[in-house]
Amino acid sequence: MHETPRVDASRSFLFLLGSTRRDGNTELLARRAAEQLPQGVPQRWLHLSELPLPSFTDHRHDDRTRWTLPEGHGATLLDATLTATDLVIASPLYWYAVSTSVKQYLDHWSGWLRAPGVDFRARMAGRTLWGVSALADEDLSAADPLIGTLNRTADYMGMRFGGVLLGYGNRPGDVLRDEEALRRAKTFFDH
């Protein structure tokens, strides 16, 4: 008997990795969840540390500033963001929030909202924002601020919030021993 895919094959996933190290617990957990996507569903994986963005300066109330299209890494990230139907922020829990590179990426959304011809907010509406995070605290409620950031971001942009997959991981590879997190990863993208 052929099993019907749980995820619509017309979707495409962008995984934005916000850790300062490769193959950390958060990335391992995100990859476990991604393994469950049907074959053929596009996945793009970008390490934000390899695409550093300049510090964001808010010019909303400066009448002399003209908003421009991003260049370099900003253009790469904007294009990747607009191409995906599903955006997965994979950030370890750093001081109860998303990592610096993820925060910097989200800060740049403020500029993209004003960039000429992008129509960023309207184009993001209806897409799904997901989160994956490993934390060094067995009390998963420590990630509530991170979850709140992503949930409120999705709400502001008119996006669907898919939730956050959490796992325990202090030392490298710990998350692969978190049986509950690995169980949740198997069905995380099903809804």
- Tell me what the mean pLDDT of segment 160-186 comes to: 97
Among 6-20, 61-75, 77-91, 120-134, where is mean pLDDT lowest? Answer: 61-75
The residue-averaged pLDDT of 53-57 equals: 88
| β pairing state of 128-135 and 13-17 | unpaired
Cβ-based burial of 47 (10 A; exposed 0-12, middle 13-18, buried ≥19): middle
Task: Please state the pTM of the whole predicted model.
Answer: 0.92
Work out the mean pLDDT of the chain and round it to a whole number. 93
The distance of Cα 2 from the centroid of its chain, to the nearest Å, equals: 31
The pLDDT of residue 4 is above 70: no
What residues are paired with 13 via a beta bridge?
43, 86
CATH of 13-57+68-190, one of 1.10.760.10, 3.40.50.1970, 3.40.50.360, 3.30.70.20: 3.40.50.360
Identity of the residue numbered 66? R
Least confident of 8-22, 52-66, 68-82: 52-66
Q: Tell me what the mean pLDDT of segment 47-73 comes to.
A: 84
Mean pLDDT lowest for which of 56-65, 80-89, 171-180? 56-65
Element (H, E) at 89: strand 86-90
Please tell me the distance from the alpha carbon of residue 122 to that of residue 119, in angstroms, as a whole number: 6
Q: Average the pLDDT over each of 34-48, 62-76, 132-146, 164-178 and give the range with the smallest value.
A: 62-76
Q: What is the pLDDT of residue 64?
A: 63
114-170 pLDDT, tens digit each: 999 999 999 999 999 999 999 999 999 999 999 999 999 999 999 999 999 999 999
Structure tokens at 114: 């004003």
